[in-house]
Amino acid sequence: MTNLTHFNEQGRAKMVDVSAKPETIRTAFATSSVELSHELYHLIHDNKMKKGDVLAVAQVAGIMAAKKTSDLIPMCHPILINGVNIEFAWEQKNELQYILKINATVKTKGNTGVEMEALTAASVSALTVYDMCKAVDKGIVIGPTFLVEKTGGVSSADFQRNR
């Protein structure tokens, strides 16, 4: 089990020691999506949801989630996050369905990456949209959620997903 970085000599989970790794600028870009009805699209787009501005709340939730990732994912390091940006874009799937694309970018200067923070930000933003809209339609579909890009670090190469 010595080749698996998250296990100790006894085969039990451990947090990887990153103290010897150099500090570098690191970024990660993740995306998620929320598929919803034509009715919900108009309620969100026209800011007519009873719970308030869905995208503003989802944006703040995503930022907060990025900052709390190490509290949610057991082996994540608590890190200093230098920036988080959540952006939204709409796509019409067909005449009855719309897709809300959620893009999360996270940046740090440190000795471990921010992929999990970007993925968590995108995921929690999507979950927040669901939470704010479930009274109108519980048939909302979340996902897929995935890492699009990561930069920085020395122990693994930069990553760019082929779309």
Q: How distant, in Å, are the alpha carbons of 44, 45, 137 from that of 152?
A: 36, 36, 41
131 catalytic residue (yes or no): yes
Q: Which of 17, 131, 137, 158 is catalytic?
A: 131
Place of tokens 């570098």: 24
Sequential DSSP letters for 121-133: HHHHHHHHHHHHH
Give the separation between CA 71 and CA 56, rounded to whole angstroms.
23
DSSP character at residue 7: B
Residue type, 154: V
Give the separation between CA 43 and CA 49, rounded to whole angstroms.
6
Please list the active-site residues: 131
